[in-house]
Chain A
Amino acid sequence: MSDLAEPSGAPPLIEVRDVHLRYGPVRALDGVDLTIREGEWLAVSGPSGSGKSTLLSLLAALDRPDRGEVRFRGRPLSEDAHLDRYRRKDVGLVFQLHNLVPNLDARQNVEVAMFGTGVRRGARRRAADQLLGWMQLTDFATRRPAEMSGGERQRVAIARALANRPPLLLADEPTGNLDPDSADNVVEVFRKLHHSEGTTIVMVTHDVSIARAADRIVMLERGRIVDPGATASVA
């Protein structure tokens, strides 16, 4: 596959090189090449089964490619010893189904991402409260997921993803289960993150209107990149 257009002169944060991955007989990814630069907001779009979530899962080091390589700041994501740290410090994950721990309240769900980072208990709590405040969820700190709406849960999940101030935020259909207002809220949070914090965002979505918020849209079909991306081209 051809490499992507380079929207800026920023250094590459993530490089995907000739990545293949099969789930049994299904070719989920079939020779994907992609470069994502520091500070970029990238949307990955395409029909169901095109490999969007699989690509994200490889970027998050949740799965490993059968062939090819994913590099973060030039370092391959293949060494077990570094993957935990990568997932903990370098990347924040937001899923379509918020994936909060059901028996923990919002604050604890954020705090749980900070275990093992060396941050002390008091500092963890303050950081969690700050993030929830930023997500306008101060009043929800002691609520459990079951006591919150889908949009609120998703914002808690974003707060958790940002708990360790990662340079890269990966979001898999973050608005997929939300009503339009809640979806707009989530996009607005991403926009603020992108502009004020310079966070690199990779967002998988099949919703073109949501994808348009990104700097660049990559189109996937049958495990291949069919459009390396320009925001205006997906209309």
Chain B
Amino acid sequence: MTFIGLILRNLATRRVRTLLTAAAVAISVTAVVTLGVVTDSLQRSAANVLLMGKADFIVAQKSVTTALTSVVAEGQVAAVARTPGVHSAVGVLVGTVHLNATNPVFIEIGVQPTELRRFGVTLDAGRPYGANATHEVMLGWQAAESLHRHVGDTVEIGTIGYTVVAIYSLNQVFGNAAAMFPLTTLQANTRKPGTVTLVAVRVDRGANVDSVMARVDRDNPNLAAVRLASQFGRIDRNLVFLNAAQAGAQIIALVIGVVVVLSTMLLSFVERIREFGLLRAIGWSRLRLLSLVMGEAVGISLLGAGVGVGLSVALTAALEHLSSLRGVLDAGYSIGVVGTGLYTAVGIGVLAALYPCARAAMLRPGIALRRE
């Protein structure tokens, strides 16, 4: 029998308690991992929406509730375009509309037809819409497939019928699952005349992107230039709140996990005081006894981690199929996610075992053996 074998045997002997305690760990791990995956996915989705187009960075209104409520006046677009080092600045209006059950959050993009190439649009079929066309639309190839539309077909978006004049490709999935309108048409339909949501900026060849961003920030105090997902909190306060809420919920889940596991381990410790006293009496060192208690806690934690990550995968898969989150939540599981589950579980186990370990280490064998 090895020492690890002894730990496993102890866990197997008290299997109901082991499973219940592991379940508590699993619930905490599920909460932490699911929240992390969902938050990460929502952040990526938000960042992807903003990063559409061929841009070195984007500029939007600073600290709005959500990025889609950003309002940048066309005059500000022109000011950004005049910033030294800026090669092009394309004003883009982004909105969403409920299309149908399959497309609950359908993205609408408004761009001037003259800016399509600079925005990175490639036409797969058809022609660009006219600058002032009120009933022409271009569909991203994924949207066209999803809606079963071809060039020349009609599609109804937000109670208005449009003729599909082109099928296009952009550099990422959200853009390809969207529809593009003449900027003025979308501004009129969304009652946002003379404004855009964001500005897609390309810098001059050889220019330092960070320097240009800093200049844009300095010259336009109510705008923010961002290029990385981690910077999007400067624009979208919801992302900041989401992160804070995630951190808070994770801490609560951890605390609940630690308290549940601690109470179980303490109960187990009290029940096994004679056994621990006996082990000390036959020469087990404090460190070895501590290793036994800690090993059992970590064993339970690892079991909980496995179950928790599994539950989290199932839960996020279910969330992805919720109609309100379809297309927005794209849960990605990585080694990092599994690692988070593992760290969480082991963290719970170790924290919860500290006090029982201290009690075990301080145990005087004579007193423990006399205990009824």
Please report A residues at the B interface, Cβ cutoff 8 Å.
57, 60, 62-63, 84-89, 93, 95, 99, 101, 103-104, 107-108, 111-113, 115-117, 121, 124-125, 160-161, 164
Contact = CB atoms under 8 A, between A and B. Distances in A.
B283 A85 contact: yes
B78 interface: no
Contacts of A108: 1, 6, 9
Contact of A99 (B1, B3, B278): B278
B1 A101 contact: no
A62 B9 contact: no
Interface residues of B, number: 24
Contacts of A95: 369
25 contacts: A60-B281, A62-B364, A62-B365, A62-B366, A62-B369, A84-B283, A84-B284, A85-B283, A86-B283, A87-B281, A89-B283, A93-B282, A99-B274, A101-B275, A103-B13, A104-B6, A104-B9, A112-B1, A115-B288, A116-B284, A117-B283, A121-B1, A121-B2, A125-B1, A160-B282
Interface string B249-282: 0000000000000000000000000110011111
A116 B283 contact: yes
A95 B13 CA distance: 24
A124 B6 CA distance: 14
Contacts of A160: 282
Contacts of A111: 1
B211 interface: no
8 shortest interchain CB distances as A-B pairs: A88-B283, A62-B366, A63-B366, A103-B13, A87-B283, A84-B285, A62-B365, A113-B282
A160 B279 CA distance: 11
Contacts of B367: 63
* B interface SS class: helix
Contacts of B13: 103
Most buried by A among B6, B279, B283, B284: B283
A161 B1 CA distance: 18
A213 to B, nearest CB: 24
Of B1, B2, B284, B366, chain A has the most CB atoms within 10 Å of the CB of: B1
Contacts of A116: 283-285, 288
Q: Which of B6, B278, B282, B369 has the most CB of A within 10 A?
A: B282
B9 A164 contact: no
Contacts of A161: 282
B10 interface: yes
Contacts of B280: 87
B366 A88 contact: no
Interface centre among B280, B281, B367 (most CB of A within 10 A): B281
A52 B13 CA distance: 36
A67 to B, nearest CB: 17
A115 B274 contact: no
Contacts of A115: 3, 6, 284, 288
Given A87-B280, A104-B1, 6 more contacts: A62-B281, A62-B365, A84-B284, A88-B284, A112-B279, A113-B282
Interface in B101-152: none
B1 A93 contact: no
A125 B1 CA distance: 8
Interface string B277-301: 0111111111010000000000000
